[in-house]
Structure 1
Amino acid sequence: MQSLADRLHGFAAALFDPALVAPPGLVGPDGQPSPKRFSVYRNNVVVGLIGALKANFPAVCRIVGEEFFDAMARIFVVSEPPTSPILLHYGAGFADFIAGFEPAASLPYLPDVARLERAWLESYHAAEAIPLTPEALAAIPGDRAADLTFSVHPSLRLIWSRFPVLTIWQMNVGDGVPGPVDLTAGGEDVLVMRPAGEVEVRAMPPGGYEFVEALQQGHSLTDAMKVALHADPRFDLSGNIRDLITAGVFVECYLNDESELQKQGARP
C-alpha cells in the first residue's frame, strides 16, 4: 500500500503531465475510475495558474497577445508547477523562463519587462517601514557622513536593463499607448518601491543603480560612491542622496564607531 506522501506525489505528477493516467483511487459517483473528471480538474488547475500569471504580468501579456501568452504560460506551468500554496510566490522564475523561451527570442526586452512586473508585485506585498527623515540624516556630523551605512526599505526592488524597459512597460500598462521604441538608444535602470500605499516606479540616474545596490549590500557611503563613479562618471552624489531620501528609500542610517553602533532612524 502506498504511503500518503507517495500518493500525493503521484497526484501532483499526474496533475501536470497529461501523459500520466489518473491516480489510482479516484472514482466518480458510480464508484468507478473517472479519468474524464480528473482531466477536467487538471485543465482547471492549469487554466487557473495561467490566469494568475496573466494577472501578475499584464504588460508581458499585452506585448505578446493573449494567445501567445496563454501558450507560453501553459508550458511554464507544466514545467514549473507551484511549490507553495501561496500564489503570490508563483511566477518568480517566469522572467528567466521567458529568456530561454525560443519563440520569444525576437523580443529580447521581454524578460526584463517580466522582471519589472515581478518587482512591482513583490514591492506591493512587502512589509511596511517608516522611511528615514531628512532631519535624522542631518543630525549626522558632517565629518562622519562618509562612513555612513544604510538599511533600505523592505519594498525596494532594483531592475537593471540594457533596454528602455521602463518606457516599454509604461506603454503597456493601464492607459499606456504602445509606440515605436529605439532598442539601441540605451538601457533604463528602474527603482521600484512602496513607501506609502502605492507602488512607485521611477527611472534611476546615471550610476544610481550601482550606488543603491552597493548601499543595499552594506557598503559605506564612500565605497558606494566609488562603485557608482566607476560605473558612470556622471554620477551625482548629492543629487542621488536627495532624491533617495525624498523617495523614502532609506529606513535607518548607521555610524560604525569603535565603541558602539550609532543609529539614526525615522523615529526620535
Structure 2
Amino acid sequence: MDKIINKKIILEMIFYILSFPLIFFVFVIFAKLEFIPIFNNLLLILSELGFFAYQIIFIFKFTNIKINFYVKIFISLVLIGIMLLSVYFILIMSIFAFKDNEPFTYQEEKYYILNEGWLDDDYEIYRKKFITMDKLDFDESKKVFKNLSDFSNGDVKDKLGIYFNKDKQIIKSQKSLAYGRSGSELSEKEILKDFSLRDAKLIANSTYGLVEVGRAGARSRWFFVEVIDNKLNFISEIPDTSPDISGDISENGTILLRCKDINGNINFYKSEDLGKTFKLTD
C-alpha cells in the first residue's frame, strides 16, 4: 500500500512539473496559430483555469503528506510563491494572447478586425477559415474592401477607416508632435493641407465637421472646420483632447460637441457663434 501511495505521489509531482512547460506550450501555440477570437479566448481561459486549479490541488495534497512539519511548511510556502509568480507572468502573457472579438461579414465571408496596438489603435484584418483565420496584408485588404460606404456598422466602418489611413495618420501625428517641440507650429490652414474630406467627421445636417490633426498617446488634437466646395476650412481648435468626439447642431444653430476620453468620462461643449469658440457645459 505504501508503495502504491509513493508511486501516486511521484506521479503527481511529475504532472506538477510538467504543468509549467505545458502552459508555456499553450502560449507558443497562440503565438504560432491565429485562432478565431472566441476559440482563442475560450482555450486561453480554460488552460489557465486548469493550470491554477492543479496548482492548488497539488499544494493541498502536499500538505497531507506525512513528513517533518517544518519541512512541509517551508516547501508549501515555496510552492505558493511559485504559484503566485506564475499568476503574474501568465497574466502578463494573457494580455498579448487575448483577442477582442469584432466580427463582421462582407460579401458572404466572415472577417475580424482586431486592435493589436498597446496605447494607440493598431488594427489588423483577418479572414475566417474554420477555427483559425488568415491575416490580410494592406494591399489585399484594399482590394477586398473597395468601398467603405458598403458598411452599415458604423463602428466597423470607423475602424476600417483608421486601418486604411494608419500610415497617413502616423505621418500626421509625427508632424504635429514635431511642430509642437520646435515651438514654431504651422498655421491651421497649412496643417489642413495634409487632410481631405475623407478625414473629417461630418456633423449631420450641416456643412461642419471635426478633423483629428494629431495624436499623442491617448490625446488627440481636433480642428472644427467648415466644408466649402469639398475643401476643409479652419474655424477653431477644439479645447478638448479626447480621442472620441462627435457633434450635433440644433435648429437655432447651436453646436454641441460630445467628448469621451479613454476612461469613459464625457464632457459637453457648446458654441453659439458657429464654432468660433466652445464653452464647457454641465
TM-score (norm 1): 0.30
| Larger RCO of the pair (alpha carbons < 8 Å, separation 6+) | 1
Larger-Rg structure = 2
TM (norm. structure 2) is 0.29
Structure number with higher strand proportion: 2
